[in-house]
Amino acid sequence: MNKIKFFFPIIFLLFACQPTPHATPEATAIPTISVVETSTAVPTQIPVTQTPAITATPETIKISHKDGMTQIYIPAGTFTMGGLDVYRENDELPAHEVKLNAFWIDQLEVTNGMYNLCVQNGDCRPPVLPRSNRREEYFGNIEFQDYPVVNVTWYDANAYCTWAERRLPTEAEWEYAARGEDKRNYPWGDEPPNEYTANFINLIGDTSRVGSYPEGASPFDVLDMAGNISEWVADRYRLDYYAKSPLENPLGPSIDEVFNNMFVIRGGSFQDEGFDLRVSNRNYIEGPNLKAQTDDAAYYGKYSVKIGFRCVADG
């Protein structure tokens, strides 16, 4: 199985000759919330990310009081989970129907500004590295506060979602929010990604401001579920899990069913090929090893400039 490794940034030779990416929409009427100034030069007022225009109704959106995140209501339903196209891999099989309870999912990826609120509250560690792929000053830089936080481990993502009174999504919840019920291969349909639907194949060479690709929205108006950054989910990784997973609200294999510390990541990143952005594509990276000492990096797990996260809450 040809899986992508996330530990070292990849420089594509074709980067310099790629077309100009889709323009980032202007933010308007951004509310502010007070935070304490820190040595990372974060201002005393951090704007909360302004959500782009959506078609959801007031009954299907809410705003988190902890971090200002817009959450989208995903109704209970049944959908087909797994690979359905010629690019499907063994760990995406068999495709199978899954029934899920209703839940709320973050419309956007958690941003630097949002994550910093948790850091300053003392409930989250800072990102392991403050840089992004091509930007030395990223986390803590006001210019990038509305960009997705990266260089966070599964441990860190889980800590943030707990602080925010939410949790990491299961694989099934993530895929349902990205795919809907019509068996599409990408959040927007079956057409391959392009510069208007996703940040991928190093068109930019780094992260984009969250919500910059409204044409890539999922059927539920969830944004950035393909490209930009890959996202941690709650599940441990097992190649053959779909052959034995529950058909209602699967939670992933238990710790007794796996022999490693690999956790699933979803969605593909700004460096990945188009077929890696398919909603069914599964990838993985090392998560926390709670048997290690707390001063050992293995206790928290791996991180990458290409990995961030979003959270969910029960419906």
Mean pLDDT (whole number) for 251-257: 94
- Checking if the pLDDT of 4 tops 60, the result is no
Both tokens assigned to 13: 């030779």
* pLDDT per position as a tens digit, 119-166: 999 999 999 999 999 999 999 999 999 999 999 999 999 999 999 999
What are the start-end ranges of the H helices in the chain? 112-121, 154-163, 171-179
CA atoms within 13 A on the CB side of 119: 22
Domains of the chain and any CATH numbers: 45-314 (3.90.1580.10)
Task: Give the span between the Cα atoms of 61 and 58, in whole angstroms.
Answer: 5
Mean pLDDT computed over every residue of the chain: 86
Give yes or no for a contact between 35 and 46, defined as CB atoms under 8 angstroms apart: yes
DSSP letters along 17-43, please? GSPPPPPPPPP-S--EEE----TT---
Query: Is 90 exceeded by the pLDDT of residue 23?
Result: no
Q: Give the residue among 9, 19, 26 at the shortest CA–CA distance from 196.
A: 19
**Residue whose structure tokens are 């948790």:** 118
Please identify which residue in the block is written with the tokens 């890959």: 230
DSSP 8-state secondary structure symbol assigned to residue 51:
P
In this prediction, residues 73-86 reach a mean pLDDT of 97
Q: How far is Cα 140 from Cα 51, in angstroms, rounded to an integer?
A: 21
Instruction: Note the pLDDT of residue 243.
Output: 96
Q: Helix, strand, or coil here: 307?
A: strand
CA-CA-CA-CA torsion sign (48, 54, 55, 60): negative
Cα angle for residues 246, 3, 155 (degrees, 5° grid):
65
pLDDT at 2 over 50: no
pLDDT of residue 59: 81
pLDDT classification of 30: cutoffs 50, 70, 90: very low
Structure tokens at 305: 């400039």
User: What is the predicted pLDDT for the residue at 36?
Assistant: 30
pLDDT score for 69: 98
Q: Which residue has the tokens 């087909």?
A: 80
